[in-house]
Amino acid sequence: MSRAVPEPRKTLDPDRVAEWLARHPDFFVGREGLLQQLKVPHPEAHGTTSLLERLVYDLRRRAEQAEWRLEQLLESARHNEAQYRRTRELVLALLEAEDADALGQALATQMAERFQIPAVALWCPAQFTDQEPLPPQPPRQVLDEHAGVRLAALLDGRTSRCTRLTPTDWGRLLPHVRPPRQAGSCALTRLTLGEPMGYLVLASPDPDHFRASMDTLFTEYLGDVLARLLLRLGISAQGCPPAHG
């Protein structure tokens, strides 16, 4: 008598099982004991764990990730609020300046105290008139052809830029501030209101303070404010060297 050949063992397609369970979410209703028997891979160690423990673990991880994202959003909101308050105090202080020298000095004070930027230069054309008979006081500097060429070269055709600043360039562009022994960094922008009016230089002895990848929106905004205030205070583009580059 021949021995019966066993039929090949049939296995279920996991994808079809998953699809079926997705269409029948009530399958485990009344089968809670089955849920307790199911084992799934442990997410952090070898071996398995119960389905319920894995669900608890996943829910805890999701809660931690949601809490981290919320903290990131709150930190960003706190930073933006602090930046707004500093910018507001800066602009209010600039609006109170009664002349161009006071404007430059208010700018330098505010940038040092509120933004930790220790060096500022405001390059504008000379305005020796009855209203301003004396040379400007730092951080204002008289914009001549030599300084204009170097500032335009550093901008390299852009409206604003963050870049490294060699000790030589520091000495040329911030002559009222002792240069660092090694390269520093700066953010610079054109002062423009219909036509070029000069340049703003914000500098730090830290070569990584102003990185090339940094956004220059704040620097451009500050330049726009200064250009309008300088025009109101009688500093115009008349006598400003032509832009190069």
- The string of pLDDT tens digits covering residues 40-84 is 777 766 677 777 777 788 888 899 999 999 999 999 999 999 999
Q: Whole domain around residue 84: which residue ranges?
A: 41-95
- The string of pLDDT tens digits covering residues 188-197 is 999 998 888 8
| Cα distances (angstroms) measured from residue 144 to each of 126, 141, 190, 194 | 9, 9, 15, 20
Q: For residues 67 and 233, give the distance between their C-alpha atoms in angstroms, rounded to a whole number.
A: 51
Residues 90 and 122 reside in one and the same domain: no
More confident residue, 223 or 33: 223
Is residue 67, in this structure, part of any structural domain at all?
Answer: yes
Q: For residues 41 and 21, give the distance between their C-alpha atoms in angstroms, rounded to a whole number.
A: 19
Answer whether residue 167 shows pLDDT above 60.
yes
Q: Could you tell me what percent of the chain has a pLDDT over 90?
A: 58
Answer whether residue 241 shows pLDDT above 70.
no
Query: For the CA atoms of 51, 52, 55, 57, what is the dihedral angle to 10 degrees?
Result: -100
Q: Is residue 139 a contact partner of residue 213, using CB atoms and an 8 Å limit?
A: no
- Domain total in the chain: 2
Is residue 2, in this structure, part of any structural domain at all?
Answer: no
Q: Which of 64, 95, 126 is the last residue of a domain?
A: 95
Q: For residues 100 and 97, give the distance between their C-alpha atoms in angstroms, rounded to a whole number.
A: 7
Strands (DSSP E) along 1-118, which ranges? 39-41, 48-50
Answer whether residue 219 shows pLDDT above 70.
yes
Q: What is the CATH number of the domain that holds 180?
A: 3.30.450.40
